[in-house]
Structure 1
Amino acid sequence: MPGSAGRSTGSGVVPWPRADADRYFAEGYWEGRSLGTQLAETARKYPDEVCLVDGDVRMTFGELLAKADGAAIRMSALGVGGDDRVVIQLPNCWEFVVTTFACLRLGAVPVWTMPQFREHEIGGILANAEANAIVVPDVHKGFDHQALAREVLPDGLVLVVGEDVAPGNIDLRGLFVADEPAEVTQSLDAAAPNGDSVATFLLSGGTTGLPKLIPRSGNDLTYMIKTASEICRFGPDTAYLVVLPLGHGFANTGPGILGALLSGGRVVIAPSPAPQQALPLIESERITATSAVPAILHRWIEYLDTDPGIDLSTLEMIQIGAAKLDPSLAAQVRPKLGCTLQQVFGMGEGLLCLTRLDDPDGLVLHTQGKPISPHDEIRLVDEEGAPVPPGEPGILLVKGPYTTRGYYRSPELNARSFVDGWYNTGDIVRVTPEGYLVVSGREKDVINRGGEKINAEEIETFALEVDGVDHAAAVAMPDPELGETVCLYVVATGPVTLQDVHSLMLAAGAARFKLPERLVVVDALPATGIGKVDKKALRADIASRLAA
């Protein structure tokens, strides 16, 4: 719908410039139709094909559409309207997929979050999104999510997956009724938003503390998913295994479950990424593709060394991303798993880079892929914003037909992160002569713990609230499985323990994955020539301590 180009889709959303939007329509990248509409079209094309598997649950496309439409109608009756934000905080389960589909059909905006988020994170997300509904499990890993949901959203709608739904909350599964007459579900088609509307809010990697909301429109998100699906050769024969958290964009959109479903394929949800549970599913469900992080790949390969009897012959491709993949581990994929490795480098803000399935080993093992779109634009600059010479590393700036133009309701952050349409990723990369990216680090102060991004300043702010701590600096500490974990350096006037820091952070409602793994008490923090904490020196210090 080119006529609506250049508009924002609500206050707080940065609009696409009309000239860029018109160009993306003219090139055929944007279609002007919602993601929910296109998923429904695929479901109607393959009504009797199984598309979703979770344990004993096996759901066809027809059943998925009917349950999603039934839930959409009932959510509307409960007061959830088009453009309302629905926070989905579920573990990996079939209900996550159906709820997402229901929101997309209704025109409500799903906000995918992680089950390990607590009051600190989930409260901030709800407030920023102005959400009036949240979807949670009753209890997950011993934690009462209903109580937290009611605490952070006292006047909102709490939808619960589980057997023990508290009074005042709604049993989500009770909304999945597939009995709506055709004219009612057709009304969802007629009222569907266009492609300009926000389809979902993704979460930033937390580079500024609490996750920021990334508005992704039906136009840009669908284009990204479809293009990635073509590169990954997804189709009706695809069987995609989910082992990464569905709260992450990687598992949903890179091309992920939405790519598999839009292609007419089948999604299989693993109960755990542990090799004992995930690898047998590759054999029994004849999985063709999956996505993982290096830590999961490492565990799978170690397990196969001890139990090589699992038949992985149907597996054609494994994507590895979210953290740097060591070339020595990458080289073990084909001999151990018998499939093609695809390196992935992407971000919720947009840019997605993939190695291609027919790339030579040199590119697959040593680069993080090239952009998926011919209209992806990249620049590499130095700290002053000047272009770096070809082949030299620099700070990555990007823009293109699926890279957002700003965070939601964050004008100050947008002024720093987006300049003239270019998004400053904060990643340090170089570009090979073939146009592939090699990621070497981060400009921004972020710790990447197995794919979970942790803002160092946020950890330092917590630490400074501990009695006796005068100064604090959090840095990445090398970890053989997770890649990086948090090491906290403090200058203290009295005794301080790691447990003191943990207790304060947990009491403040911080997620457990942010807890430092090591505390180092020092007399003073090293400083650079301009008086800033020298984190390069601290990273070198902890590396030497670990090597000792």
Structure 2
Amino acid sequence: MLSGYTPWSEESARRYRAKGYWENIGIAEMVKRTIGRYPEKVALVAGNQRITYRQLGETVERLACRLVEAGLRQHDRVVLQLPNIPEFVYAYLALTRIGAIPVMALRAHRETEVRHFIDASGAVAYVIQDVVNRFDYRPMAQTLLAECPSLKSVLVVGEPAEGQHSLSQMIEEELSPERISATLQRIHVDPADVATMLLSGGTTSLSKLIPRSHDDYILNARLCGQAAGFDENTVFMAILPLGHNYNLASPGILGVFYHGGTVVLASSGDADEVFELVERERVSVIASVVPLISNWLNSDAAEKYDLTSLKVVQNGGARLAPELRKRVLQRLKCFPQEVYGTAEGLINMTRIDDPERAVLESSGAPVCEDDELKVLDEFGEEVPDGMPGELATRGPYTIRSYFNAPEVNRTAFTADGFYLMGDIVRKEGRYVFAEGRKKDFINRGGEKISCEEIENLILQHPKVFQVSLVAMPDETFGEKACAFVRTKSGVPLAFDELIDFLRAKKIASFKLPERLEVVAAFPVSPVGKILKRELRETIAAKVAAESASLVD
């Protein structure tokens, strides 16, 4: 078992296996089982590529063999930062096939975040594409290779730089079945061991690492797929990053592969491109987020295409307003499925046969009967149904600790193993109604921005004396970041000047503030704490007034 990982107790593990939740197989083995059932069925569509389950399996085995020959071993951590391309799927499954552990970076992450993922996980390899949207990942990878002690190799889809290796060649190289078999037959993956490391929302600092076992992550994908009605006829469109828990296994591509459906990779979230792809591939399910759904509903694209195959539009990351859910039903004529949960485990989903109020207003109900939920007050006492409090959860696919983070674990988990989600909710029976966050973060269309992380960076600006980052309302993204700043001696600070400074810190662009308010003083409590609630109210009032003046 990987050091730094806390497994379930023996008693819990026995109970979950006895109930059939854990199937005692690895992720790659789960996909191989589906390959045996549907070898000639299309598993993956990307542009003009149509990849059958048999071809998927052969490519994964070939790459797994080459990764072992390149020196990767069980428990080796590998930061995986690829866009939505077939190579992501090959690399992810090949790593899990050999017991190596993919650490799921997102395309937007830059040097600061990736360095943290490498150092925190002890990663020995880093997988990238050469260039994506004009950003060249290879120089960044070279810097990390030189500066991160654990990192030994960089694998590149496309053209590698000097000292880097071609993942594309590894995928394409022809190998004999005997060579593959001889290399892989001796590798046994323990289903109870870590399969994947996801990233926390990073609400208090840089992201924590979330270790998911083969047992629990397969269950996650299977149950979410069942709640979404997945079967071998499902055609699932992936627009959002495959490295995110939502699109990877909630239900995501692993949910599709579990149930034998087809994954269609979309190149963008543009309404015309999405709906044209729905028509062409007869897509039945799309995983989306509030900004995309809002844009689709405000576009005339839906009338141009045949969308009769589309049965479900899923929403995750941030709550979809009831009015928008109604519009999905009426305009797109499909079910608006809310997917609410956490990369640490618990997933709640609405179902097509739920009562109307649950469909339109709730965040769904847990996907597993053995998901235990508590709503706690500020003293850790459980509150009655209908009362708001912090959501705590425990179950067969919710982690028992973060990876190698004992100090964080002491406050993130209760003594009896419940994970404290930091979300304020109300519970009505098994249905959850999400109301907001306990922790200090900004939810920009599902992307979580740690206020503390960005505040610490802004404070490094030579003109800044004091800063507070807060959420301001936005019609498209729900929330955006507004930086309130006191400068030293009242010197002027321009917005562009601040953004240029932060870009030089090499952070993801979605974390950049989108408004600057320079103030002479902050509202503070009697003990000197900045009253962020008042700042949020101030900026909300300004945004509302500006919107009203535009209408007038």
**TM-score normalised by the shorter chain: which range applies?**
over 0.9
From 420, 426, 435, the equivalent of 1:440 is 435
> How is 1:291-440 mapped onto 2 (pairs within 5 angstroms)?
291-303=287-299, 305=300, 308-420=303-415, 421-432=417-428, 434-440=429-435
Tell whether 2:112 aligns with 1:120: yes
| Between 401-410 and 182-191, the greater mean CA deviation after superposition | 182-191
- Residue identity opposite 1:280 in structure 2: E
- Residue identity opposite 1:15 in structure 2: P
From 151, 166, 170, the equivalent of 1:171 is 166
Give the Cα separation in 1 of the matches to 2:182 and 2:274: 38
> How is 1:127-526 mapped onto 2 (pairs within 5 angstroms)?
127-154=119-146, 156-162=152-158, 164-176=159-171, 177=173, 179-181=175-177, 184-185=180-181, 188=184, 191-303=187-299, 305=300, 308-420=303-415, 421-432=417-428, 434-493=429-488, 494-526=491-523
Give the Cα separation in 1 of the matches to 2:441 and 2:470: 8
Contact 1:87 1:110 in 2 (8 A): yes
Deviation at 1:190, TM superposition (A): 5.2
Contact 1:272 1:278 in 2 (8 A): yes
Deviation at 1:530, TM superposition (A): 4.1
TM-aligned CA distance change 1:290 to 1:306, over 3 Å: closer
TM-aligned CA distance change 1:178 to 1:208, over 3 Å: farther
- Residue identity opposite 1:506 in structure 2: R
Deviation at 1:369, TM superposition (A): 0.2
Unpaired runs of 5+ residues, structure 1, are: 1-8
Q: For residue 5 of structure 1, what is the aligned residue in structure 2?
A: none
Deviation at 1:389, TM superposition (A): 2.8
TM-aligned CA distance change 1:156 to 1:172, over 3 Å: same
Contact 2:62 2:180 in 1 (8 A): no
| Secondary structure class of the residue paired with 2:217 | helix
Give the Cα separation in 2 of the matches to 1:87 and 1:190: 25
Contact 2:362 2:431 in 1 (8 A): yes
Contact 2:275 2:301 in 1 (8 A): no
Q: For residue 83 of structure 2, what is the aligned residue in structure 1?
A: 91
| Secondary structure class of the residue paired with 2:368 | coil
Q: For residue 111 of structure 1, what is the aligned residue in structure 2?
A: 103
Number of equivalent positions: 537
- Residue identity opposite 1:455 in structure 2: S
Q: For residue 73 of structure 2, what is the aligned residue in structure 1?
A: 81
TM-score, structure 2 normalization: 0.95
Contact 2:68 2:183 in 1 (8 A): no
| Between 168-177 and 141-150, the greater mean CA deviation after superposition | 168-177
Which digits, 9 at most, give the CA deviation of each residue in 1:249-271, with x for residues without a partner?
A: 10010111011011111100000
- Residue identity opposite 1:65 in structure 2: G
Deviation at 1:11, TM superposition (A): 1.2
| Secondary structure class of the residue paired with 2:297 | helix
- Percentage of identical aligned residues: 40
Which digits, 9 at most, give the CA deviation of each residue in 1:5-29, with x for residues without a partner?
A: xxxx211112222222221112111
Contact 1:69 1:180 in 2 (8 A): no
| Secondary structure class of the residue paired with 1:324 | coil
TM-score, structure 1 normalization: 0.95
Deviation at 1:529, TM superposition (A): 4.2
Q: For residue 100 of structure 1, what is the aligned residue in structure 2?
A: 92
| Secondary structure class of the residue paired with 1:308 | helix
Give the Cα separation in 2 of the matches to 1:382 and 1:238: 41
Give the Cα separation in 1 of the matches to 2:302 and 2:425: 38
Contact 1:228 1:255 in 2 (8 A): yes
Give the Cα separation in 2 of the matches to 1:192 and 1:45: 22
Q: Cα RMSD (Å) of the superposition?
A: 1.4
Tell whether 2:32 aligns with 1:24: no
TM-aligned CA distance change 1:40 to 1:307, over 3 Å: closer
- Residue identity opposite 1:349 in structure 2: E
Unpaired runs of 5+ residues, structure 2, are: 546-552
- Residue identity opposite 2:42 in structure 1: V
Q: For residue 48 of structure 1, what is the aligned residue in structure 2?
A: 40
